[in-house]
Amino acid sequence: MSSVFLLDTNVFSEALRPQPRQHILQKITRHEYEIAIASVVWHELLYGIERLPPSRRRVSGERYLNEIATTMPMINYDRAAAEWHARERARLVARGQTPPILDGQIAAIAAVNRLVVVTFNLDHFNRFEGLRIESW
């Protein structure tokens, strides 16, 4: 089955929380073959791990990313996404609603690939036109 959902960083990283919410992990498992991540999300997680000092938390994060990297499709921020993002960003800025750059890139990847963004931050994505979003 092809991907249906594009996970935002806050959902993708749920397993790394000290006490992950089990219902979120269950949804991720249930939709395992319908989920993808954006290269932007990969960057955000790698950046966060790179900033950690040597520790169990860092090792756990690195292990999680290495395991996921081989199983979950990653979708890049490509030309089509950049064009969609530029149009939406210009529209929102003209309305005085400047969107965060990385969230705009995630939204663009989802929009051009017809995916649903799964996030806990609906406010970061609900101003983008034509974007489907869910909160698990």
pLDDT in tens, 44-68: 999 999 999 999 999 999 999 888 8
CB 3 within 8 A of CB 114: no
SS3 130: coil
The whole model's pTM is what?
A: 0.92
Domain count, the chain: 1
DSSP 72: S
Give 100-133 pLDDT, tens digit per residue: 999 999 999 999 999 999 999 999 999 999 999 9
E-strand ranges in 13-131 read 35-38, 74-75, 116-118
Interatomic CA distance for residues 85 and 90, integer angstroms: 8
- Which percentage of the chain shows pLDDT scores above 70? 99
What domain range includes position 9?
5-134
Q: Which contacts of 87-94 are long-range, i.e. CB under 8 A and separated by 24 or more positions? A: 88/128, 88/129, 91/129, 92/127, 92/128
